[in-house]
């Protein structure tokens, strides 16, 4: 488990887990109980954030489980789970009794550099009193890296603790800074995993799950098997090509062997996380086993499921009439990286959807006002459920799920009686939430208060929460940082024409935004039903602008700048980042709106067009002087 330690004036003041990359758990008191973590440092920078890994050795893990068994307590599945659970205990005394260890491998914020190189900084951390991994080695060239990788792989079983690979890092910290980061990972580091552990098991059934964008994703339901210390009962099957024994480019995988229900399959955990099928044992396949036929109708709503040319995924065309898409979109909306509404998780969203209290995100913010009143329902339970209950296979499964939901809420229902079930939902949906079993007055009021708190939402979270295809957390943050306000973002997406025009060019000029993402966002805003849903949502919110950190009084603040030709003293990404930090807008093409063209060798047509339009043209040296980097 990754852990960040913050030292101020040489004293440990905070310890936090990595969490979602921005917000982690405060585990300071628990971290103080770990012997490998110094409480005070001598000779350290005034501010120092040390990053490392909390782990448990194999010997300590075995001893811990032995003590757990002696006391009749539950044992842990593997050292990783034991370490994570121990560090996150609410009672630090429990953590203190667990044999946790800590390796330091990096750093974050600091008031003065530790060294000029990666290996120098690690050595400095060791001098300050931190345990660092003795297998860390400075290698000269790829051959030396591979040799060290193979040496560690050979020693893996005797190390005394779990590892799943090695990480290669550029040693020169100045080069690390120039290389920078991708959306979630540094360009100056590469993880090289060891081959994954595998196990054989029986594939009982292939089921189809429908996601928020309509993607039909096949899942293998397996006889539970332990893989790498974790019990696995499901595995992803990706898409219909993967099941048929082909990859995304049509090349054969697994020797061309397809996957069928009733097969014996070899399972591995990709990156020691996601279970996947590695192989199929054809010698154990039954003679009557049939090739899997991928559905061409959505199993959730019956709509056509089409596969567009060039797409590996088949998608439901039902849109928001498809309950699976609607529920998954709502789940995404309330997820941790989106609106993160306390008390409104995946189960609650499904409950509110099927009791017709919520159909789309905007309904969440009118839930309290409608509660128990004549407008409590946003749809007819009979209209919402009748078609789904009639679908072969789907109807019986949905009937069971809804019956369980109603019983949990205190509504008696008769097994197999769809009409009675719908009547029960109509009855339940009309009651104030506080009178529904499992809620109560306090729970209902807490939920309504949590929803109210989320009316004020930062722009990046809102863009991500919309659930637009191809727009993840990083893409949402990138768009928010560029447009800075909902009004500017909405205007740009509403007026952009895919493939042409200034709004489209501006969108494509954003570093990290490609044509696929751009087209997806523009299409969402210009599709009538989707746009209406977005407008209803935003009308309920107070969207907080993104503040771009800029030098307001710079010579280029407020100007539109275009870079062209070969830049010799910086990369294009570095030039763009610096221009935006100075308050300029960076565009990808020259137009009448362009104020400044920075032209390197081979500028070509952009320089010619700039001259025709009377745009000021400067070279890289002059730009460096303006940017204060000469």
Q: Which domains are delineated in the chain?
A: 2-193 (3.30.470.30), 198-284 (2.40.50.140), 323-453 (1.10.150.20), 456-544 (1.10.150.20), 560-626 (3.40.50.10190)
Average pLDDT over residues 405-415: 77
pLDDT band at 572 (very low <50, low <70, confident <90, very high): confident
Cβ-contact 84, 17 below 8 angstroms:
no
pLDDT band at 402 (very low <50, low <70, confident <90, very high): confident
User: Among the listed ranges 306-320, 350-364, 615-629, which one has the minimum average pLDDT value?
Assistant: 615-629
pLDDT band at 272 (very low <50, low <70, confident <90, very high): low
Paired with 110 in beta bridges are 48
Mean pLDDT score of the chain: 89
More confident residue, 443 or 399: 443
More confident residue, 553 or 331: 331
State how far the Cα of 572 lies from the Cα of 564, in Å rounded to an integer: 9
State how far the Cα of 25 lies from the Cα of 16, in Å rounded to an integer: 5
- Rounded to 10 degrees, the C-alpha dihedral 161/163/168/171 comes to -20
State how far the Cα of 14 lies from the Cα of 119, in Å rounded to an integer: 25
Q: What is the pLDDT of residues 184-200, one digit of tens each?
A: 688 899 999 988 889 99
pLDDT band at 436 (very low <50, low <70, confident <90, very high): confident
State how far the Cα of 402 lies from the Cα of 413, in Å rounded to an integer: 10
State how far the Cα of 597 lies from the Cα of 591, in Å rounded to an integer: 10
State how far the Cα of 599 lies from the Cα of 556, in Å rounded to an integer: 16
User: Among the listed ranges 217-221, 228-232, 555-559, which one has the minimum average pLDDT value?
Assistant: 228-232
pLDDT computed for residue 20 by the predictor: 52
pLDDT band at 207 (very low <50, low <70, confident <90, very high): very high
pLDDT of 422 over the 50 cut: yes
pLDDT computed for residue 283 by the predictor: 96
pLDDT computed for residue 549 by the predictor: 57
Average pLDDT over residues 40-45: 94
pLDDT computed for residue 297 by the predictor: 94
Q: What is the pLDDT of residues 106-123, one digit of tens each?
A: 999 899 999 999 999 999
pLDDT computed for residue 630 by the predictor: 42
pLDDT of 285 over the 90 cut: yes
pLDDT of 325 over the 90 cut: yes
Q: What is the pLDDT of residues 584-596, one digit of tens each?
A: 888 878 888 899 9
pLDDT computed for residue 552 by the predictor: 58
Instruction: Give the residue carrying structure tokens 């996957």.
Output: 259
pLDDT computed for residue 182 by the predictor: 72
């Amino acid at each position: 488990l990754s852990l960040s330690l913050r030292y101020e004036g040489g004293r440990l003041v905070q310890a936090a887990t990595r969490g979602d990359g921005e917000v982690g758990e405060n585990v300071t008191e628990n971290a103080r109980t770990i012997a490998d973590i110094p409480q005070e440092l001598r000779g350290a920078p005034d501010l120092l954030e040390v990053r490392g890994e909390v782990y448990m050795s194999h010997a300590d893990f075995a001893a811990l489980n032995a003590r757990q068994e002696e006391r009749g307590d539950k044992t842990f599945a593997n050292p990783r789970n034991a370490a994570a659970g121990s560090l996150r205990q609410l009672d630090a005394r429990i953590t203190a009794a667990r044999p946790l260890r800590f390796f330091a491998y990096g750093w974050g914020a600091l008031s003065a550099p530790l060294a000029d190189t990666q290996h120098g900084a690690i050595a400095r951390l060791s001098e300050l009193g931190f345990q660092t991994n003795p297998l860390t080695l400075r290698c000269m060239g790829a051959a030396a890296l591979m040799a060290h990788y193979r040496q560690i792989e050979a020693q893996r079983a005797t190390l005394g603790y779990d590892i799943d690979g090695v990480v290669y890092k550029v040693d020169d910290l100045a080069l690390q800074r120039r290389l920078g980061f991708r959306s979630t990972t540094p360009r100056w580091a590469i993880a090289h995993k060891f081959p994954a552990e595998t196990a054989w098991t029986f594939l009982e059934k292939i089921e189809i799950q429908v996601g928020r964008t309509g993607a039909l994703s096949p899942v293998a339901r397996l006889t539970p098997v332990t893989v790498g210390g974790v019990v696995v009962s499901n595995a992803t099957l990706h898409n219909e090509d993967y099941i048929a024994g082909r990859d995304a480019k049509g090349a054969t995988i697994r020797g061309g062997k397809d996957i069928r229900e009733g097969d014996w399959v070899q399972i591995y955990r990709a990156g020691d996380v996601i279970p996947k099928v590695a192989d199929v044992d054809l010698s154990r396949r039954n003679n009557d086993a049939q090739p899997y036929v991928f559905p061409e109708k959505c199993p959730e709503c019956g709509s056509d499921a089409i596969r567009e040319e060039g797409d590996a995924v088949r998608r439901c065309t039902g849109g928001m009439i498809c309950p699976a898409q609607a529920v998954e979109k709502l789940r995404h909306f309330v997820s941790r990286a989106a609106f993160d509404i306390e008390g409104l998780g995946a189960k609650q969203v499904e409950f509110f959807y099927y009791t017709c209290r919520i159909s789309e995100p905007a309904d969440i913010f009118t839930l309290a006002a409608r509660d128990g009143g004549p407008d409590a329902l946003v749809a007819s339970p009979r209209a919402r459920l009748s078609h789904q209950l009639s679908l072969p296979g789907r109807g019986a499964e949905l009937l069971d799920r809804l019956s369980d939901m109603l019983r949990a809420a205190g509504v008696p229902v008769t097994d197999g009686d769809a009409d009675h079930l719908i009547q029960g939902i109509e009855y339940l949906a009309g009651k104030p939430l506080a009178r529904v079993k499992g809620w109560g007055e306090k729970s209902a009021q807490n939920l309504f208060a949590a929803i109210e708190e989320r009316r004020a939402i930062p722009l990046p979270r809102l863009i991500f929460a919309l659930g637009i295809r191809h727009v993840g957390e990083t893409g949402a943050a990138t768009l928010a940082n560029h447009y800075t306000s909902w009004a500017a973002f909405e205007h740009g997406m509403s007026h952009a024409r895919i493939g042409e025009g200034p709004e489209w060019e501006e969108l494509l000029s954003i570093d990290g935004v490609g044509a696929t993402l751009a087209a997806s966002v523009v299409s969402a805003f210009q599709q009538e039903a989707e746009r209406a849903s977005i407008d209803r949502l935003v009308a309920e919110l107070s969207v907080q602008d993104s503040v771009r950190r800029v030098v307001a009084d710079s010579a280029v603040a407020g100007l539109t700048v275009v870079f062209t030709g070969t830049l010799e003293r910086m990369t294009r990404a570095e030039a763009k980042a610096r221009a935006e930090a100075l308050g300029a807008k960076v565009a990808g093409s020259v137009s009448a709106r362009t104020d400044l063209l920075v032209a390197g060798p081979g500028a070509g047509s952009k320089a010619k067009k700039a001259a025709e339009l009377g745009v000021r043209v400067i070279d890289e040296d002059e730009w460096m002087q303006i940017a204060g980097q000469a």
